[in-house]
Structure 1
């Protein structure tokens, strides 16, 4: 099935049954910002010296530039380069390669006595620095300062990662059946989970 047709059909089903969806889905509107033109996307790519993953590029040019999605929804392209969890709201450097290829966290976190003290500001600042997510778009705010990342530069380009540094849980790649997943795979998995929630809710309501 064409991925665009599949996504639109699933979104239509979710929208028509939103009252039976999960709380996270109910808190969002099943809608999208206007699509970006090819010129808009090329301008962004040239500005940041990157090329966006093809599936994500197709999504923002054919479905919408941010809107309903995992976490608190998909962020627009221009906002996905801003590290929203930091007070200064710095931009993420996209023309640098994402530095990790496997789960990462600082070793000191596992041995730190959290009941007795809190790490020094300099240590925390280094831990949550945007340098750790260079080459990534923060495409969705998960909550509590954590985020889903789409790698756009480096060996992990095209894969979805989870940034849990706000909860001191580090950076981990999102997997499905033990394999890295692309933007579209991640997004469709989210839709499928919402549809499953809706179907369960509808079944329970008819048998109650």
Structure 2
């Protein structure tokens, strides 16, 4: 998988040498090295979860971000000094890693459409932030419950919290094919 993704990301970079595509100035079409299996298992054990297969395969075979939708794919693990100096995780990323948060059951059984007047604390547990899309909007990977493996789009000001893709692969493929 890494070779195919890596080649496609390099092609995107060549087509957008000025990094004019939205978010490219942040992720710069870079792919961090894949995560070792032991590191992925440690993350899963520490958070009491099993990563959905498509996402797990991506971080194990293609890379741990940042080239990807929006301002880039957030890393599963802590950014590395000297490697990710130009790219920083945000408060959503840090909040996701609070003890027990990722293993908490995902609260929604149906999408919440339209503006959310207040973002309830119980809305995002059981999901992992994948990408920040600007203006407080995020794509999140559902980790628990009947929607596990799906990508949901969180836009509290306009769209609500709604399903976006059936799985990580289709979400990332859409980004790769968008140019």
TM surpasses 0.5 = yes
The structure that is helix-richer by fraction is 1
State which of 1, 10, 15 in structure 1 corresponds to 2:13.
15
Larger Rg: 1
- Cα RMSD of the aligned pairs, angstroms, is 2.7
Cα-to-partner distance string for 1:58-110 (whole Å, 9 max, x where unaligned) = 1111111121110100001136xx87259xx634611111111321158985x
1:99 aligns with 2:90: no
- TM-score (normalised: structure 2): 0.80
Q: CA deviation at 1:169?
A: 3.2
Q: How does 1:174-193 map to 2 (within 5 A)?
A: 174=164, 180-193=165-178
5+ residue gaps, structure 1: 110-123, 175-179, 195-208
1:84 aligns with 2:91: yes
3-state SS of paired residue (1:90): helix
5+ residue gaps, structure 2: 79-88
3-state SS of paired residue (1:23): coil
3-state SS of paired residue (2:95): coil
Cα-to-partner distance string for 1:175-200 (whole Å, 9 max, x where unaligned) = xxxxx421011101111002xxxxxx
Name the CA distance, whole Å, in 2 between partners of 1:19 and 1:97: 42
Q: Is the 8 A contact 2:9 2:67 kept in 1?
A: no
- TM-score (normalised: structure 1): 0.70
Q: 2:143 maps to what in 1?
A: 152
Name the CA distance, whole Å, in 2 between partners of 1:128 and 1:83: 19
